[in-house]
C-alpha cells in the first residue's frame, strides 16, 4: 500500500517549506506560465538562457507541497545545464513519474529528483509533480501560451 512518507519525503517537505529559486529574474529571456486549473496550482517560470546554457532560473506561484517542491527541485537541477541536458532530464523525470510503480528508479539518472518517485503511487498527484517540468519544457520551446498538464 502507498505510504504517506513515500509521497511526502523529508526532502519534499523541506523544499516546500523553503523553496529554492523562488524569485523573479531581472532580465529573463524565456517565460512560461503553468496552470493546473482543477487544482489551482499555478507557476510562472522565468529562464535566462545564455546561448544554450540556463544561466539563471526562477519560479513564482502557489500550489500544493508537491507542485512547489517539484518546482524547487527542478530549478535547482537544471541551473547551469544546457537546454539539451535539461530536456533530457525532463524526459527522464517524466518517465519516472509515469512508469509503473514496480519499475525501479535509478538514482544516478535523476539525482535528488528521485524524491519525486513516490508520487507514482498517487496517480491523482502526478500532475502536481509534472507541472513545473512541463512549464520548463514550454519555456525552453518558447511556447507563448499558458500550458496545462490536465
Partner 1 sequence: MAARRGVTSTHRAPAPAARASLDVARLRADFPILQTSVRGKPLTYLDNAATSQKPRAVIERLARYYAEENANIHRGVYYLSERATAAYEGVRAQARAFINARETREVVFVRGTTEGINLVASSWGRHNLQPGDEVLLSAMEHHSNIVPWQLICEERGATLRVIPMNRRGELLLDEYARLLGDRTKIVAVAHVSNSLGTINPIPDIVRLARARGIPVLVDGAQAAPHMTIDVQDLGCDFYTVSGHKMFGPTGIGLLYGRAERLDAMPPYQGGGDMIKSVTFARTTYADLPAKFEAGTPHIAGGIGLGAAIDYLTRLDRDLVAAHEQDLLEYATARLAEIPGVQLIGTAAHKASVVSFVVEGVHPHDVGTVLDQEGVAIRTGHHCTQPVMDFFGVPATARASFAFYNTRADVDALVSAVRKVRTVFA
Residues 149 and 102: their CA atoms lie apart, in Å, by 24
Residues 81 and 49: their CA atoms lie apart, in Å, by 10
Find the binding residues for partner 1 in span 57-96 (CB under 8 A): 62-66, 68
Q: Quick one: 9 or 21, whose CB is closer to partner 1?
A: 9
Only one of the segments 2-10, 25-33, 76-84, 95-103 lies at the binding site for partner 1 (rule: CB under 8 A); that segment is 2-10
Among 1, 27, 100, 144, binds partner 1 (CB under 8 A): 1
DSSP 30-89: EEEEEEETTTTEEEEEEEEEETTEEEEEEEEEE--HHHHHHHHHHHHHHTT-BHHHHHHH
Q: Quick one: 25 or 115, whose CB is closer to partner 1?
A: 115
Only one of the segments 6-14, 43-51, 72-80, 100-108 lies at the binding site for partner 1 (rule: CB under 8 A); that segment is 6-14
Amino acid at each position: 500500500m502507498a505510504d504517506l512518507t513515500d509521497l511526502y519525503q523529508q526532502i519534499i517537505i523541506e523544499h516546500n517549506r523553503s523553496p529554492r529559486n523562488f524569485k523573479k529574474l531581472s532580465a529573463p529571456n524565456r517565460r512560461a506560465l503553468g496552470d493546473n486549473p482543477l487544482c489551482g496550482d499555478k507557476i510562472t517560470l522565468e529562464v535566462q538562457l545564455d546561448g544554450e546554457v540556463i544561466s539563471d532560473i526562477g519560479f513564482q506561484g502557489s500550489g500544493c507541497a508537491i507542485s512547489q517542491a517539484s518546482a524547487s527541485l527542478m530549478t535547482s537541477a537544471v541551473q547551469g545545464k544546457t537546454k539539451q541536458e535539461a530536456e533530457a532530464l525532463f524526459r527522464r523525470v517524466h518517465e519516472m513519474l509515469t512508469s509503473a510503480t514496480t519499475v525501479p528508479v535509478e538514482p544516478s539518472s535523476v539525482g535528488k529528483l528521485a524524491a519525486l518517485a513516490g508520487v507514482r503511487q498517487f496517480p491523482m498527484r502526478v500532475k502536481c509533480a509534472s507541472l513545473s517540468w512541463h512549464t520548463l519544457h514550454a519555456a525552453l520551446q518558447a511556447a507563448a501560451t499558458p500550458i496545462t498538464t490536465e
